[in-house]
Amino acid sequence: MISSVLFGLLLVILVGVGYIGAKAITEMNRGKDDTVPGLHSGVEESLPDGSSSGSEEPGGGSGTEPVSEPESSAESDKVETLYAEYGDAASNYTPVKENPFTKYGMPIAAFVPSPDKPEPADDGELRAVTMPLETALSMDAARDFLESVDKDTYNAVAVLLKDDVGTIYYGTGSSLAKNCGAVSSKQVDIESLTSLIKSYDLKPVAAIYSLQDHTAAHTRFGTSYFWMNDGSTTWLDAKVVNGGRPWLNPYMDNTVDYLCTIAAELDEAGFRDLLVYGNQYPNTTLQQKLGVGKDGGVSRTDQLQNVLESMQDAAPGLRVIPAYQGDCYTEGVKTQVYTATPNVFTFTPSAPIIGSDTAVLDRVTADVSTLMPVIDSEEIIPALYERGITSYILK
């Protein structure tokens, strides 16, 4: 009886082994045919329900999923149709996290300060006069300008290298700047210029606009605000027909990386101070539709501070100095527009923009020893000294 059971069990095993072996041989023979339906041959493989397994266009679903109906005109009007040109993020651009010490596109593996690299940022007085951009573009014109500087009134020369549109006027190595078309055909030779300014015993000062940038700000670059926080539509500060523009979002890592790269390049070029204009939130009443994305619980005032601190960390040879619209960056003044209270701004020194109105300083609560007002006339200087303010920037 037992032998019969064993014989039957053995028979089952032999049959199973034979079946598996035959199947393996069949699969091997089939593998010799390089043509696979729907893949190599270009012939689409039919599915049981008669639909095709061919690939869809990017952004589409599988052949078995229902296709969404186009959004109606009435529905699209709910989200500004004028924002169409700043719409969904393009899938063909991946923002690059910059090495803060990239020199014109050639990354340095281990950053080593050059022999003539400036000493760490000092805390001395800054009495700067601004060199016009057109002058800075020519070494001969720059030399004539420096010859005319009154060294009893000024100890530094500032030059604007990134304007309020976002255009950059030197040969930056930033990949984002190149991709978004921010680099101007007019370029200052920043290394030659800083050397020239130093040769006149003056401090070279770079000036840039940071968050007020309408060129590098876009959802596809991962740098802008979102319309209604939808995560894909670029927010503008007004309708396009009214001149609406995008702004850099301080909560976006790519924004901070971009600004840090610029700061590091200016540091490496030999500038001693970095005057930062436009480190603010958009001055518009459309802020109720502005989405910052994930804020990590960081307040808006603190995030402005974080941008400046990140730039300072990336450029230790520079002294980063925020310049702000004094009348709007004071306690209780237009806070519904700027959404932050800059009088609790702890980054010092700072440069309130007063133009010719020294009365603005009455509304600035920071200690006068930390102030470097931006003025538009030399005639204001005596009034600053009367207030105990000995640093200033003539714009």
Q: What structural domains does the chain harbor?
A: 126-394 (3.20.20.80)
Angle at 146 between CA 145 and CA 151, to 5 degrees: 125
- The predicted pLDDT at position 344 comes to 59
Provide the token pair at 27: 């699969």
- The predicted pLDDT at position 75 comes to 39
What are the C-alpha distances in Å from 218 to residues 58, 91, 121, 255, 339? 21, 13, 33, 10, 21
Q: What is the DSSP letter of 168?
A: B
Q: What is the DSSP letter of 170?
A: S
For 252-299, the DSSP string reads -HHHHHHHHHHHHHHHHHT-SEEEEE--S---SGGGGGEE----TT--
- The predicted pLDDT at position 140 comes to 98
Spans of the chain below 50 pLDDT:
5, 24-82, 90-93, 100-115, 117-120
- The predicted pLDDT at position 123 comes to 80
Provide the token pair at 291: 């989405």
- The predicted pLDDT at position 383 comes to 97
Which run of H or of E encompasses 93?
none
- The predicted pLDDT at position 327 comes to 72
Spacing of C-alpha 147 from chain mean position: 37
Other CB atoms within a 10 A radius of the CB of residue 175 amount to: 16
- The predicted pLDDT at position 89 comes to 53
- The predicted pLDDT at position 110 comes to 34
Phi, psi angles (nearest 5°) of residue 203:
-85, 130
What residues form DSSP beta bridges with 206? 159, 274
- The predicted pLDDT at position 65 comes to 36
Q: What is the DSSP letter of 44?
A: P
